[in-house]
A and B are shown apart, each in its own frame.
Chain A
Amino acid sequence: MSPETRRRVFLVAAAGFAALMLWGLSGLPPFGEYRGPYGDVLNAAAVAERHATNVVAAVTFDYRGVDTMGEEYILFAAVVGTAILLRAQRDEEERDPSETVEGRSAPPTSNAVRVLGLTLLGPIVLFGIYVVAHGHLTPGGGFQGGVVLATGALVVFLSGEYVTLRRVRPEDLIDAAESAGAAGYVLIGLAGALAGGAFLDNFLPLGQPGALLSAGTIPTINLTVGLEVAGGFVLLLTEFLEQTLVLQRRALP
C-alpha cells in the first residue's frame, strides 16, 4: 500500500470515527450531572448500615467485596507471572551489581540525595500505614497505602546502592506478606460464611462510625489488601532491579 493510499484510508476512517464520537458525546448528560440512583442510595445508607464513613471503601470491600477479591487476584497473578518471566534464564549469569557497564562504574550517590531519601523513608512508611489503616474512614485504603509502602523500598534504592536494598530486603518476609495478604481476603470471607452469613458477610462488631476500630470486616480486609499490594510491588521492583543490575547474558562461547 502506497503512502498516499494509506493516508486516504486513514482520513476516511478518522472522519468516520470522529463523526461517531461526536454523535455519542452529544448524547451524554451535561458535565457534572449525576443520574445514577445507586450513588445516592449508597450515600444515604452506607454509614448507617456499615458504619464506614468512606462510602467508597464500604462499596469496594463490603457491598462489592467479591469484585475486589477478583481484582486482588489479578494483581497477584500479574506479579507471580512477572516474577516467573524475569527469573534467571539458563544463559544468564550473576555479576557484581556495583559495576554497571564494563570499565565504567556508576557515579556514587550524592550526599544530598542520600539525606533526602533517608529523611523521606520514615514519613513514607508512616503515611502508607496511615492510608491502609484509615481506609474505611478517609480516602485511601489497602491498594493505595500498599503502593505507598512499596515506594519506601524504591527510596532505599534511590538513596543508596542496589546492594543496600538487597541487604535490607527480607525476601521471605515479602513473599510471606504477599501470600498472607492474598489468602487473608478469602479467609475473612470464609469466616463470614462460617459465622452463619454468606461469603464475605460481616461478622465483627460495627463499632462507632468514625472510630479507627469500626466498620466490621472492612479494615481487616483493607489490611490484607495492603499487605498483598505492598509485598507484590516490592517483589515486582526487586525482580526488575535484579534483572537490570545483576543478571547478564553469558558471553557467547
Chain B
Amino acid sequence: MSALEAIVLLLVAAGGTAVVLTRDPLNQAIVASFYGLILGLAFLVLQSPDVALSQITVGAVALPLMILLALAKVRREESTQARTPEAREAGQGRPARARPDPDADRERAGTDPGEPL
C-alpha cells in the first residue's frame, strides 16, 4: 500500500465518522457531500476513474441535494402548520417528543422567530 493510498483510506475513515457524529440533518447533508468527494478521491487513487466520476457526481452533488430539498420541504410544512391555531394546539408537546435534542430545538427557534415555543 502506497503512502497516498494510506492517507486516502484514513481520510475515508475520518469522513465516515464525521458523517455519523454530525447530528443535525442539515449539517449532515453538507458533511456527507464532502464525504462523497473523499470517496471519489479514494476511487481515483485506487485506479478506478470510472467509479470515481460516478461517485463524485452522485455522492457529492445529487444525494446531498435531494436531502437538502427534502429537509427544506419538511421544515416549511412544520412552520406553516405551526401558524394555524388548530395545528398549534394539536401539535403541543410534539416538538419535545420528536426532537429530544435540545440543540435542534434551539436552532429551530433561531431559524423561525415567528414560532412560539
Contacts and interface: CB of A to CB of B under 8 A. Distances in A.
A102 to B, nearest CB: 7
B116 to A, nearest CB: 15
B76 interface: yes
Given A147-B58, A147-B61, A252-B86, A101 B79 contact: yes
Interface of B: 1, 5, 49-50, 52-54, 57-58, 61-62, 65-66, 69-70, 72-73, 76-77, 79-81, 83-84, 86-87, 112, 114
Interface residues of A, number: 31
Nearest to A240: B69
Interface in A229-252: 233, 236-237, 240-241, 243-244, 248-249, 251-252
A131 B84 CA distance: 50
A190 to B, nearest CB: 27
Contacts of B73: 240, 243-244
Report whether over half of chain B's contact residues are helix, strand or loop; otherwise say mixed: helix
A131 B72 contact: no
A68 interface: no
Contacts of A248: 76, 80
A60 B51 CA distance: 12
A133 interface: no
